[in-house]
Amino acid sequence: MPEVIINGPAGRLEARYHHNTATDSPIAILLHPHPQFGGTMNNQIIYNLYYTYVERGFSVLRFNFRSVGRSQGVFDNGPGELADAAGCLDWLQTQNPDSHTCWIAGASFGAWIAMQLLMRRPEIDGFISVAPPANLYDFSFLAPCPSSGLIVNGETDRVAPAQSVTDLVSRLKTQKGIVITHDVIEGANHFFEGKMDGLMGSINDYLDLRLGASPRMLIESDD
């Protein structure tokens, strides 16, 4: 079931879904960069994250926010996109009622939305936040951050400067047992052009640490 249409709060949402047939497979939902600056679910960061989770045995969903691609609705600068993400997570959980592990990941604008959803959904066990635009959006709602996760950004990012992300990490308050890992990819810009291997290496190392290293599944692209 690679292509799905989900009934969102503002109309239909276009999505891609990989279903793991194991009844208790973990689940992951992925949120793309800013809709008004070319962000879609086919963004290279989101695309690579999708298959990283697929290879690890997850049931994985990536989708277009309202107004993007074939998704209906009008860009809402945050609140509507958060509602889209919550509705898609509901759909994903409905498809996997016996799953006991839930992850969320987002890039840029999608990282901001993902962290808001993390605060609202206690069932989310882990997160990956790529190039969070801490200079553009308020992340003070992360007080405290409820789950352990990875924040990763580029050293030469001019959209979300590296220092702003470092400052965000230093301000985060965490609960007992919660660990925020921060990684900076040398020479990488906001889009990780020419540095995608470094980004995915960091993410895979982190997932190995959290989930346990295991042989990757051989997966054919379902796009």
> Is residue 221 domain-resident?
no
Contact present, 57 and 25 (Cβ < 8 Å): yes
Q: Is residue 222 part of a domain?
A: no
pLDDT grade for 219, boundaries at 50, 70 and 90: very low
Whether residue 79 is preceded by a cis peptide bond, meaning omega within 30 degrees of 0, is no
Inter-residue contact 164 to 134 (CB < 8 Å): yes
* Angle ∠(25,31,32) on CA atoms, nearest 5: 140
Residue 218 within a domain: no
Residue 117 covered by a domain: yes
For position 88, which CATH number holds?
3.40.50.1820
Does the residue 137 lie in any domain? yes
Domain holding 63, by residue range, is 3-211
What is the distance in angstroms between the CA of the first residue and the CA of the last residue of the chain? 10
Instruction: Say if 175 falls within a structural domain.
Output: yes
39 pLDDT exceeds 70? Answer: yes
Predicted TM-score (pTM) of the model is: 0.94
Tell me, yes or no, whether 216 lies in a domain: no
Summarize pLDDT for 17-34 with one digit per residue, the tens: 999 999 999 999 999 999
* Mean local confidence (pLDDT), 97-101: 97
Which residue's entry shows tokens 């959290």?
210
Contact status, residue 88 vs residue 63, Cβ threshold 8 Å: yes
In terms of DSSP bridges, do strands 11-18 and 3-8 run parallel, antiparallel, or are they unpaired? antiparallel
At how many degrees (to 10) do helices 79-95 and 109-120 cross?
60
DSSP 113-171: HHHHHHHH-TT--EEEEES--TTTS--TT-SSB-SEEEEEEETT-SSS-HHHHHHHHHH
- Using CA atoms, how far residue 124 sits from 37, 41, 47, 97, 143, in Å, is 28, 20, 21, 14, 16
Averaged pLDDT of the chain: 94
Q: How many independent structural domains does the chain possess?
A: 1
pLDDT at residue 217, as a whole number: 47
**DSSP E strands: which ranges in the chain?**
3-8, 11-18, 27-31, 59-63, 102-107, 126-130, 148-154, 180-185
Q: What pLDDT is recorded for position 2?
A: 86
How many percent of the chain have pLDDT more than 90? 90
Residue whose entry in the numeric block shows the structure tokens 């989900």: 6
Q: Is 172 within 8 Å of 180 (Cβ atoms)? A: yes
pLDDT at 214: 57
pLDDT in tens, 46-63: 999 999 999 999 999 999
Domain assignment of residue 151, yes or no: yes
